Amino acid sequence: MVATFPALRLRRMRRTEPIRRMVRETALAPGDLVYPMFVVHGRSVRREIESMPGCFHLSPDEAVREAEEALGLGVPAVLLFGIPASKDSVGSEAYAEDGVVQLAVRAIKAELPELVVITDVCLCEYTDHGHCGIVVGGQVDNDRSLELIARTARSHAEAGADMVAPSDMMDGRVGAIRSSLDEGGLRDVPIMSYAAKYASAFFGPFRVAAESAPQFGDRKGYQMDPANVREAMREIEMDIQEGADAIMVKPALPYLDVIARARDRFDLPLAAYSVSGEYAMLKAAAQNGWLDERNAVLEALTGIKRAGADIILTYHAKDAARWLRAS
């Protein structure tokens, strides 16, 4: 017979913090987090991003310092985005040997070999039109874009990246990257695929930070419709079949159901990206005194972990790691 109130009182196991800690179902730790950073050319550059208070454009030397601080807090990995010196129609700096991400990877790995350096693989920051692939006749040409996306991933890996993360949402990109890496003797470099990346309004602050807003149209033709979840499972399955080693859902908080569905269906390591809009909302509310930033951030990140994410990419990574270590 199942006990009911008053014999059953669930509050008994919530009475004190030590008891709550003993029976806590989800544990969030600094080791779950990845810290995204924006790198630019130059030296001693540390310029705060207006749309993302507390985040900065960093030159490679400053990126080393920032990465070292994150690692010291227990954050095991960073994700690098690059803002090039110049842009063109084919995103040339994305795959240039002296591209800003390549320079930053070399600098970080030289000083912090134990840190996991992941690179975002896309063309949008590097193209003058702001789209994630090659534009032909006013449309993004999926198949013509694959060669340059694969070339970018290989260039990052050759510079020393531990993992590459394609975010372009072109069909077939994971297979193209896997083939290029293998042909280049880089078989051990894993791919973390942005497998279910939605055409989200929550990317707005990032596009200011990365100077990557499309100059015409939008990205709804290749990023996912926010209304779809079954399609997300097809996207993830296709990337796994092409050789993805880890999968990602992006954004995180508006798509907890997608994270949970993916966790139930697939066995690969699952990442979730708490994106710039999620960060900016919490920051703005905290700065206005409307939320307690520490408690709100840790609750949000715990929710993402509870939904099934093994890895959480968040701009709050350093702060969250401090708060977790102090708790």
Which residue numbers are catalytic? 197, 250
| CA 274, chain centre distance (Å) | 7
Q: What is the DSSP letter of 274?
A: E
Instruction: Name the DSSP letter for residue 30.
Output: G
Residue written as tokens 């394609």? 166
The SS3 call for residue 319 is helix
DSSP helix/strand/coil, 205: helix
Nearest partner of 62 among 97, 30, 103, 98, judged by Cα: 103
- Using the 8-state DSSP alphabet, how is residue 161 labeled? -
Q: Which two tokens stand for residue 230?
A: 């079954």
Helix (H, G, I), strand (E, B) or coil at 118: strand
At 37, the amino acid letter reads: M
Q: 99 to each of 105, 129, 152, 196, 253, how far by Cα in Å?
A: 10, 19, 10, 27, 33
CB 313 within 8 A of CB 271: yes
Residue matched to tokens 């991933």: 153
- Give the residue carrying structure tokens 């008053």: 6
Helices then strands, counting H and E runs in the chain, come out as: 11, 12
Q: Rounded CA gap, 17 and 39, in Å?
A: 41
- Cα end-to-end distance, the chain, whole Å: 39
User: What H or E segment, with its residue span, contains residue 307?
Assistant: helix 293-307
